[in-house]
Amino acid sequence: MKYLKNGVLPHMWCPGCGVGVMLGALLRSFEELGYEREETVVVTGIGCTGKSDDYLVTNALHTTHGRALTYATGIKAFNPKLHVVVLMGDGDSVTIGGNHFLHAARRNMDLTAIIINNFNFGMTGGQFSGTTPGGMFTQTSVYGNPERGINICALAEVAGANYVARATPYHVWEMKTNIKEALNKKGFSVVEVYSPCPTNYGRHNDMKTAADMLHWLRDKGLPIEEFNRRKAPEKEGYFAIGKLVDRDDPDFNERYDQIRAIAQKS
């Protein structure tokens, strides 16, 4: 694997964690799409997912918590020829990073955001995040989460992303398909990866083994067509996977090129 650094395995993620599976799918996608390392930049934030850059030999930028999309925006706006991929967790992308997520989607920045959603802040020991469902138990919600969790895919859709998909490490082939579609798509592309976190989230919520959490993903993840077919009560407890949004609105660079043309004429 020409994108993987030599001598870094075994990686640091826990047994059963989905980050490694996602990274494998991402690197295979790079290979299948023929991405050169020189033209690829991986931007990461802080957290378990954010550690991904240590394993890669593409260009990389390991930034601050929640802000990866802002750095990626600057890179892509200045050099539109680069493939810019942003790897974030649920904390990074829509909790502390919520504002930047909204605006990256609103601008339709031509970035591929791959978000590992394990429903907690894993790296810091398993506190609840912006996606932790209400009532769930974490290090800072020992009586149950008093808040609700946000739906990342719905947020991305409303904010204007061109491509939104949800995948899981259980549905690993579909995940690679979604990642490739997201990489190929111009505009803001989001692949949300529901991931087990047996060490923290699973342990506190009756899914003590990696297998327990994978079973949950297998049993509760419905292809979008099936999910849409079901009426409300039958959807309870299930989630949609697959390609959820696919449109071709102009991305930021295309729009800004038009601005430059106007500016240079005047």
Partner 1 sequence: MDGFKKGQVEKLGREVRLMQGNQAIAEGAFYAGARFYAGYPITPSSEIAEECSKRMPQLGGVFMQMEDEIASMGAIIGASLAGAKAFTATSGPGFSLMQENMGVAVMGEVPCVIIDVQRSGPSTGLATKPAQSDIMQIRWGRHGDQSVIALCPATVSECITLTVQAFNFAEKYRVPVILAPDEVVGHLRENVIVPEPGDLEVIDRKRPADAPADYKPFAADADGVAPLAAYGSRYVFHVSSSMHGPEGYSNNNPANAAWRVTQLHRKIEMHRDEIVLTKTFDTKDADILLIAFGATTRASRAAALELRKRGIRAGVLQLVTLWPFADKEVALLGQRAKTVVVTEMNYSGQVAGEVRKVLGSGADLRRVNSFNGDIITPQDILKVIR
Task: Kindly list the residues in this chain that would bind partner 1 in the complex (CB under 8 A).
Answer: 5, 37-39, 41, 43, 51, 53-54, 57-64, 67, 70-79, 81-82, 99-100, 102-103, 256, 259-260, 262-264, 266
CB 157 within 8 A of CB 121: no
Q: Which of 41, 28, 37, 30 has the alpha carbon at shortest distance from 69?
A: 41
Radius of gyration for the chain, computed over Cα atoms and rounded to the nearest angstrom: 18
Output 2 or 208, the one with its CB closest to partner 1: 2
Smallest gap, in angstroms, from Cβ of residue 97 to partner 1? 10
> What is d(CA 2, CA 19) in angstroms, rounded to the nearest whole number?
19
Output 216 or 252, the one with its CB closest to partner 1: 252
Smallest gap, in angstroms, from Cβ of residue 100 to partner 1? 6
Smallest gap, in angstroms, from Cβ of residue 88 to partner 1? 13
Smallest gap, in angstroms, from Cβ of residue 40 to partner 1? 9
Neighbour-count burial for 67-96, b at 16+ CB within 10 Å, e otherwise:
bbbbbbbebbeeebebbbbbbbbbbbbbbb
Smallest gap, in angstroms, from Cβ of residue 175 to partner 1? 26
Smallest gap, in angstroms, from Cβ of residue 104 to partner 1? 9
> What is d(CA 67, CA 72) in angstroms, rounded to the nearest whole number?
9
Output 27 or 217, the one with its CB closest to partner 1: 27
Output 43 or 197, the one with its CB closest to partner 1: 43
Output 12 or 154, the one with its CB closest to partner 1: 12
Q: Which of 174, 172, 194, 44 has the alpha carbon at shortest distance from 116?
A: 194
* Token code pair at residue 138: 């974490």
Output 113 or 210, the one with its CB closest to partner 1: 113
Output 59 or 209, the one with its CB closest to partner 1: 59
